[in-house]
Amino acid sequence: MILGLTRSWSLTGYMIAAVIVLPLIALLVQASFPDEAVFSHLFNTVLPTYISNSLLLIVLVGLGSLIIAVPAAWFIARCEFPGRRYFQWLLLLPLAMPAYIVAYVYTDMLDYAGPVQIALRQWFEWSSPHDYYFPSVRSLGGAAIMLSLVLFPYIYLLARTAFMEQSASLLHASRIMGCTPWRSFWRLALPMARPALAVGVALVAMETAADYATVSYFAVPTLTTAVYDTWLGYGSLTAAAKLSAIMLLVIFAMVGVERFARRKQQLFQKQSSLSAADRYSLKGIHAFGAFGYCASLLFAAFVLPFVVLLTYAVDYFDESWNEQFWQYSWNSLYIAVLVSVICLLLSLILMFVRRVSPRPSDNLPSRLSSTGYALPGTVLAIGVLVPLTYLDFAINDIYDWFGARGPGLLFTGSIFAIVFAFVVRFLAISIGSIENSYKRISPSLDMASITMGQQPRQLLTRVHLPLLRKGLLAGALLVFIESMKELPAALLLRPIGFENLATYVFQFVSDEMLEHGALAAIVIVIVGLIPLIYLNRSLEHAS
């Protein structure tokens, strides 16, 4: 800690935090305004359906992801079978696949006119839908399955790490006491992994609550679609803000319930790394079952959708490789790079203040600035629209007062709104990356630098920056990738006529013409694979 840190650094940190939390504050203030017509109509008609569908979808996706992920995590962490080394990172690949693309692929396959039902009618000589029953893919249950296939890696990764970090001596003790692998898993490993599973389920729940594209494609009315439709359909910013506040209440309630449920849970175990000898060696049908489960999960969640995309991209390459594709790719690249640079600079300032300030209160700006990641894209978009709309009106009123023509929608009618929203949402990622890198820098280096007469700015540029290079690169890369993939906020905040790859692909999905946007979708998926390569390296070192 540096006692010579000037107040200007602390003030800068608080100013950054104030700007980042402004959308959340504006949203809550706007939600408190009266809007009797629109919100009362929604409250008396469809709002209960929106809330019940949202809660049911969150529960179904949480349970589905848990059921899918835990067996895979156990097989990888505690069992030895052919292909285990490769499956440990291959099972992370579904994170790179947007859920609405997976939804489109399976809908195209499983609908009445799809190849699956056509084959069934031919085999059994059915002539009409009345001759047989086939579950509807375009339903709340179908949306839950699609989201579970994409989101289960959150739980898988945390559960796998928890299983691997459990004490090997406890496993040996369970073996000595005659526990079968199943009893050892059910009575020992699973209860000890509960905190990690709870965190994973909470992440899945927040991602589910934030999803717009999948539920919109399946025509499942949820709070996310309600916010979007209320703003664009009714034009009521206040009603949209009220719905967004309800979404925030649901998310905070889920996190609160999860923490309350394990408030008294404490776990003490001696840490010891697992070796290959500590794993159950699976043979015969058991090895085939573990391999088959992991292979089937990978095929259903990633391989099949990616192969379909690749086929579409090859077949429609001449139509897709056009000026629009390059323009929208440039739009995505430009925004992602701009957001990455801004997040990197802001998080570096925030974490430097937190690192060197002797005042505990200076930890607050970095913590406040990390709250944006918990906001769903549609909620964040409304929170951004509120202050920027008032600012646009205020600027134009000033111009009118001077008898001049105003600039129009200076902020809400440009990419400024998208960039601002992305920075608010993804700043937490770069903060976390730099924070982890700072933990590896000894405080004695700071003391030595000050002893040698270095000022705070010199300490940052000459000492910290060279040591933070990997953390800065990782943070910028993750922000870049998330900015390329973010859809709900871009849909609500994009200027007229502006498209990026995410909105471009979603328009084709909505029009049942993904074939024409498959090339752009593959670009999004490939970009999303980059962080998984880094995760793969860390997993290989951990195993």
Residue with tokens 């992994």: 193
Tens of pLDDT, residues 219-261: 899 988 888 888 878 778 888 888 888 888 877 777 676 666 5
Return the half-sphere exposure (C-beta side, CA atoms, 13 A cut-off) of residue 317.
4
Per CATH, the architecture of 7-263+284-305+313-542 is what?
Orthogonal Bundle (1.10)
Residues of the chain with pLDDT under 70: 1-6, 35-36, 166-183, 187, 255, 257-278, 358, 450, 453-454, 534-543
CA distance 74 to 156: 9
Output the pLDDT for position 535: 61
CA distance 308 to 303: 9
Total residue count of the chain as it appears in this document = 543
Output the pLDDT for position 148: 96
Output the pLDDT for position 395: 92
Q: What is the 3-state secondary structure (H, E, C) of 271-284?
A: CCCCCHHHCEECCH
Output the pLDDT for position 4: 47
Q: Which two tokens stand for residue 180?
A: 């079968």
In 353-364, which positions are buried (b, 16+ CB within 10 angstroms) versus exposed (e)?
A: bbbbbeeeebee
Residue with tokens 């998310």: 251
Output the pLDDT for position 141: 93
Closest to 148 (Cα-Cα) out of 76, 227, 70, 48: 70
CA distance 336 to 500: 10
Output the pLDDT for position 388: 92
Q: What is the 3-state secondary structure (H, E, C) of 98-165?
A: CHHHHHHHHHHHHCCCCHHHHHHHHHHCCCCHHHCCCCCCCCHHHHHHHHHHHHHHHHHHHHHHHHHH
Output the pLDDT for position 538: 58
pTM: 0.85
Output the pLDDT for position 338: 95
Whether the CB-CB separation of 41 and 226 falls below 8 Å is answered with no
Output the pLDDT for position 447: 72
Tens of pLDDT, residues 289-342: 999 999 999 999 999 999 999 999 999 988 888 888 999 999 999 999 999 999
The SS3 call for residue 281 is strand
In 274-292, which positions are buried (b, 16+ CB within 10 angstroms) versus exposed (e)?
A: beeebbbebeeeebeebbe
Closest to 218 (Cα-Cα) out of 151, 139, 148, 149: 139
